[in-house]
Structure 1
């Protein structure tokens, strides 16, 4: 296999010209670049990846910080989205890497370490908060990034999100139309944007109907949904229908309702595959896109290419996934 020096000598070009041609620099003519690439392919030359990244001041890495709770790195929904995003980025020779956040470190500290160490080209932020310090930090440093979820930052940045407000408003109105007088919601920590957005949709529908809110919060897992369901069902006015911020919480709630022998309609969000096998089968909602991960990858690539931020926001509709659990009796 030919080296860079031998390749340059065979073409009658300098090593610098050949190197810059292979790296796609604009100061090398297209004719010369094509000639160099053809010769490199014919000779079986493969540039040293580490040296190439160093010359271009690129790492070809997009990093996704992810806090772990009790050893859990990601939900099955997030894993599916991330795998799809990684696949599409890899087609462009960019690696998506997950950086678990140690319990003694914050996500902001991890972001700072990665950026200051010049270890990344861009970041993918998940589980966005309404006031997210990671966003301001990356904007201040000029680091390309995309958020899976919105924030309340006044500074524009690229994001992809589902319209949780409209989805939960519509789902609540649907329970009202089905004859339910007492409709509850099991929500999550509303410092997370998605949790607040979904809760606000529920509240808007209840206010418009003149109904009192029946809302409790739980942790974002099955145990949180289980505990919240027991709490809401032992309140002064137990609901006959419940919306849950996520499917994981809804599955925990179903277990609690079964133990309490409570015949309550329930709907979640995320369309987890296991929902099709619960008893009753869990009705849910999902972001209406063929491939959420591919959309995130597309936004990351467009962000790296320097497209205007105004063109890099996507709010997607959310659709109902009807199975069985939303059909339970109304009183």
Structure 2
């Protein structure tokens, strides 16, 4: 039996093959899980590799496979250059999943005066990435139009209106806001305002549609001034809340397109002396950890952002390893997380004929 190499020796596929009495090709294919290698052989090779401290050369593996094992993520252009908390959670999950497959994540920002397609084109032409993950999709998204023609693997967190020919994982945003409205109506609310996002973004459009559909179903009038589009940060939420508080028929609840917007609304209401969860209820969407830390805790439609990132990471690696495979198209549902920010509307005080309160 061949002498087992010592761990101090540089371990290679050639040494590992000699130790096992197998060809270098068989060992290489076993380490890369090729389907023509028996499971018993794969297990034997992997066990020996672990015991002898073999570590594959990432560079050699990538050259042999002809695959650039790096996934690109171009940060969407955003005022103030601040990444939103949802994308931070997505990136955390994505980076974790890619690392488990020995793939890298390249995060690129959009320089001033450029757009995301230019940055993606530069990354592809330079050979720095073997695929992309796209997020915050527009209803008609030029990034996806570009990637369709580039023939590079990509997966979308979200969807466009035309989404039949690429891989995506999305949350059922419309249903989530129908459910959120149903919860508020069940609590007794009928005067429900909506702080929405950019209607060009598909998720914001879907959530807006869910709000309007549920309002119609439940007979809740969407009065002039109840629906605010383009609320993308805390300051915009504060201005919108200030307008709602001046409304002649002030809402008893506010449904918000994201947790970040909801938290901005809660701060604005508290600043105005409104008791959130008693005088006006608030519901957000995302399920971000910061929603639990504020007071009162934020009732929200949760979408497990970190797990979404993990899932799209798995899908994009699968897509890159088998480009001819069918596209994964997955729709998850958000779940209602109930905290203190949403409760039944406060009963109105009624003055009786004698001037007392009953």
1:224 Cα deviation from its structure 2 partner: 2.3
CA deviation after TM superposition for structure 1 residue 20, in Å: 6.9
1:272 deviation in Å? 1.8
Distance 1:245 1:308, change over 3 A: farther
**Closer, same or farther: CA 101–22 of 1 in aligned 2, 3 Å:** farther
* Counterpart pick for 1:158 among 157, 167, 175: 167
2:219 is the counterpart of 1:210: yes
Deviations 1:232-257 (A, max 9, x none): 33234321111000011011111111
Alpha-carbon distance in structure 2 between the residues aligned to 1:37 and 1:170: 49
CA distance in 2 between partners of 1:197 and 1:53 (Å): 40
Corresponding residue of 1:248? 260
- Check conservation: 2:257, 2:285, Cα contact below 8 A: yes
Rounded to whole Å, the distance in 1 between the matches of 2:156 and 2:256 is: 23
How much does 1:145 deviate? 0.9
Distance 1:201 1:32 in 2: 53
Compared CA separation, residues 87 and 77, structure 1 to 2 (3 A): same
2:4 matched residue in structure 1 = none
CA–CA distance in structure 2, aligned partners of residues 310 and 25 of structure 1? 20
SS of corresponding position for 1:129: coil
> Which residue of the other structure, out of 44, 58, 75, is the alignment partner of 1:66?
75
Distance 2:252 2:41 in 1: 72
SS in 1 for 2:285: coil
1:318 and 2:355 matched: no
Of 81, 86, 96, the residue aligned with 2:95 is: 86
Alpha-carbon separation, structure 1, partners of 2:11 and 2:304: 50
Question: How far did residue 146 of structure 1 move?
Answer: 0.8
Aligned residue number for residue 226 of structure 1: 238
How far off is 1:159 after superposition?
0.9
Is the partner of 2:286 in helix, strand or coil? coil
SS in 2 for 1:152: coil
CA distance in 1, matches of 2:13, 2:190: 79
Give TM-score scaled by structure 2 length: 0.78
Note the C-alpha offset of 1:290: 8.4
1:227·1:253 contact (CA, 8 Å) conserved in 2?
Answer: no
Cα RMSD (Å) of the superposition? 3.5
TM-score by length of 1: 0.84
Which residue in 2 is equivalent to 1:275? Answer: 291
Task: Indicate if the aligned counterparts of 1:264 and 1:328 stay in contact, CA closer than 8 A.
Answer: no
Shift in Å, 1:185: 0.3
Q: What is the total number of aligned residue pairs between the two structures? A: 329
Counterpart in the other structure of 1:125? 134
Matches within 5 A, 1:22-101: 48-67=57-76, 69=78, 72-101=81-110
Q: 2:144 aligns with which of 114, 124, 135?
A: 135
Instruction: Quote the residue 2:251 is aligned against.
Output: 239
In the other structure, the counterpart of 1:186 is 195
- Could you say if the C-alpha distance between residues 319 and 58 of structure 1 is closer, same or farther in structure 2, counting changes exceeding 3 Å? same
Structure 2 CA distance for partners of 1:142 and 1:181, relative to 1, 3 Å: same
Deviations 1:108-167 (A, max 9, x none): 111111112221111111111111111121121111111111111254211111111111
Contact 1:8–1:18 (Cα < 8 Å) also in 2: no
Matches of 1:288 and 1:5 in 2, distance apart? 41
1:131 match: secondary structure: coil
Distance in structure 1 (CA, Å) of the matches to 2:125 and 2:293: 46
Alpha carbons 2:195, 2:229 under 8 Å: kept: yes
Q: Distance in 1 between matches of 2:136 and 2:164?
A: 18
Q: Which residue pairs with 1:113 in the alignment?
A: 122
> In the superposition, relative to structure 1, how do residues 104 and 142 fare at CA in structure 2: closer, same or farther (>3 Å)?
same
Distance between the aligned counterparts of 2:136 and 2:245, measured in 1? 29
SS in 2 for 1:202: helix
Q: Larger Cα Rg: Structure 1 or Structure 2?
A: 2
In structure 2, the residue matched to 1:295 is 311
1:279 deviates by 2.5
Kindly indicate whether the alpha-carbon contact (under 8 Å) linking 1:218 and 1:225 is maintained by their aligned counterparts in 2.
no
Change (3 A) 1:238 1:309: farther
